[in-house]
Structure formats: structure tokens, C-alpha cells
Amino acid sequence: MIKSFAHDAVDTVQKAKLQFVSTFVKHDGLAETMTKFVEAQSNYTKSALSTNIDALMDFSMFFTKKEFAKEVVEAYGLDKFVPAMPAKAASKKAK
């Protein structure tokens, strides 16, 4: 779902570029070269976005595992963490 929105955004920008080229660039050779460049940009950008979205999804699945949270708490001694303000006092202060 996220990928389709990202790809749609890329397509929108690239179509605007192609429209600009077709409207304002009158030399056929130059227009063809610019069109190829815009298409290459589109392919690269979509590939980079897909890779980043896949990595983000993999990381988020890893970080939400209970075992990972447990390892982090133990590794950094967060189980001994004492909040600056107890939860009851914080809720009274918010009122």
C-alpha cells in the first residue's frame, strides 16, 4: 500500500517532467534524450523507494518483537530505570 502511494507520487512528478519536455523542447533529438533521462530517473527512484520501504518494514518487524525488547532492556540496564516522576504524580499534575 505504501509502495503504491510512493510510486504514484513518483509517476506524478515524472509525468509533469515529460509533459514539460513535450511542450517546450522542440528539438526531437534533445527531447528524446531528455525523455530517456526522465524514464531512467523514474525507474531508479521507484527502485530506491521500494528498497527503503522493504528495509523499513523488516526493521519494524524486528524491533517490535518481545525478545528484542527484552535483550535491549537487559543489555542497557533499563530494568533498573527509575522514572523522574512516579506515574501517579504525573497523572495528578496533568489534571
Per-residue b/e over 11-43, b at no fewer than 16 CB within 10 Å? eeebeebbeebeeeeeeeeeeeebeeebeeebe
Q: How many domains does the chain have?
A: 1
CB 35 within 8 A of CB 21: yes
pTM metric for this prediction: 0.66
Reported as a pLDDT band with limits 50, 70 and 90, residue 74 is: confident
Q: Give the Cα separation of 61 and 58 in Å (integer).
A: 5
d(CA 1, CA 20): 29
At 22-67, the pLDDT tens digits run 999 999 999 999 999 999 999 999 999 999 999 999 988 887 888 8
Check: CB of residue 14 under 8 Å from CB of residue 34. no
State the residue range of the domain holding 55. 2-94
